[in-house]
Amino acid sequence: MRVRLTGARRMSLQVMAIISMLGAGVLGATGPAQAGPGLAGLSSVARAEIAVGNAAYISEAQLATSGCGVSCDGRDPQTFKIYYNGSSYYTCAEDATSPVKQDFRSYGGPVVEIRVSARCRTAWTKLDNGNFNPTIKSFNLSGALRTSESGFIQGLWTRMLNNKDLLAQGCAGSGSIVYCTTAKYRG
pLDDT (tens digit per residue) in 90-131: 999 999 999 999 999 999 999 999 999 999 999 999 999 999
Task: Compute CA distances 118 → 25, 68, 135, whole Å.
Answer: 23, 11, 20
**Residue where one domain finishes, among candidates 93, 128, 151:** 93
Segments of the chain scoring below 70 in pLDDT:
1-39
Please indicate, yes or no, if residue 79 is contained in any of the structural domains: yes
Note down the domain range covering 54. 7-93
Please indicate, yes or no, if residue 86 is contained in any of the structural domains: yes
Say whether both 33 and 112 belong to one domain.
no
**Residue where one domain finishes, among candidates 34, 68, 93:** 93
Say whether both 29 and 49 belong to one domain.
yes
Give me the amino acid identity at 128.
Answer: D
Say whether both 33 and 62 belong to one domain.
yes
Q: pLDDT value at position 63?
A: 83
Q: pLDDT value at position 56?
A: 92
The total number of structural domains that make up the chain: 2
Q: pLDDT value at position 35?
A: 32
- Is there a contact between 106 and 146 (Cβ–Cβ < 8 Å)? no
Please indicate, yes or no, if residue 29 is contained in any of the structural domains: yes
Q: pLDDT value at position 139?
A: 97
Please indicate, yes or no, if residue 1 is contained in any of the structural domains: no
Q: Where are the alpha helices (DSSP H) in the chain?
A: 7-24, 44-51, 60-66
Show Cβ contacts of residue 79 under 8 Å, excluding neighbours closer than 6 positions: 54, 91, 154
The CATH number assigned to the domain holding 135 equals: 2.60.40
Say whether both 99 and 181 belong to one domain.
yes
Q: pLDDT value at position 154?
A: 79
**CA angle, 177 then 121 then 6, to 5°:** 55
- Is there a contact between 181 and 169 (Cβ–Cβ < 8 Å)? yes
Share of the chain above pLDDT 90, in %: 65
Q: pLDDT value at position 13?
A: 45
**Residue where one domain finishes, among candidates 93, 110, 129:** 93
Give me the amino acid identity at 30.
Answer: T
Say whether both 82 and 106 belong to one domain.
no
Q: Which of 127, 132, 163 is nearest to 147 (CA)?
A: 163
Q: pLDDT value at position 39?
A: 67
Say whether both 58 and 139 belong to one domain.
no
Q: pLDDT value at position 87?
A: 82
